[in-house]
Amino acid sequence: METIKISILILIIISVIFSTLAFVLTIFKKKKDADLSIRNSYPYEYYMNMNEKKRTIIYTIICVNMLVSSLATFLALYGLKSAFSLLVAIMFVLAIITFSLGFITPLSKTKTHIILIISSFLLYMSVNIMLAFIKVIEGTIYYGTDFNLTISIILGVCGFISLLSFFNPKLKNWAKLEKSEDNGTTFYIKPKVNYLALYEWIYYILFELSILLISINALINPSII
């Protein structure tokens, strides 16, 4: 197997292991009495619920995975040898970096968190939609076999679903709490579903899925050396 493909294979194996490990440690290492759910709690809330040692370990895993995933994706797309694939590669690397940083940025830094997360969502959506048309736009690649049609369609579906997700009117209520009363006392609680928080968890999975598919395409592509 060619050097680039061996590198991509090693990198994607590390990426899958690290992303799974980070997710499992995040979800299952919270305190037992912590009222946290991926439906209404941001990733940083899980991290703030941990002691400093556990939090540092997960942050390190996420950052290493960010670098590994970025390199794997860049090699897999750059190997298609066209200006279009280079543009897509750069955009996807930026998407991975902004999402990873936004994922661990607390909402106490509201503007930073929102800018990073929304930027990563838009970049992810754009890249996947662009890859959906890589087989049909003349001049995007040099060889007709450079991108697997099935993988292109799956990426396109992910991209268009991401686009439709932005039309959810409840997404703008990410900062709102629900009013509740108990024995005449009024207090505010989290809604059952906070769509921005839920989206961050969903996109965590979608990112890894797209990275995996793009890497698989490179591994089965005979023209990438």
Summarised one tens digit per residue, pLDDT across range 156-183 is 999 999 999 989 888 887 777 665 656 6
DSSP-derived 3-state class of residue 9: helix
Q: Is the pLDDT of residue 138 over 60?
A: no
Look at residue 43 and tell me whether its pLDDT is greater than 60.
yes
Q: How confident is the model at residue 143 (pLDDT cuts 50, 70, 90)?
A: very low
Handedness of CA 34, 40, 45, 47 (dihedral sign): positive
CB atoms within 10 A of CB 43: 24
Number of continuous H segments (helices) and E segments (strands) in the chain: 7, 2
User: What pLDDT does residue 70 have?
Assistant: 96
Tell me the whole-structure pTM to 2 decimals. Answer: 0.87
Give the pLDDT confidence score for residue 159 in this predicted structure.
94
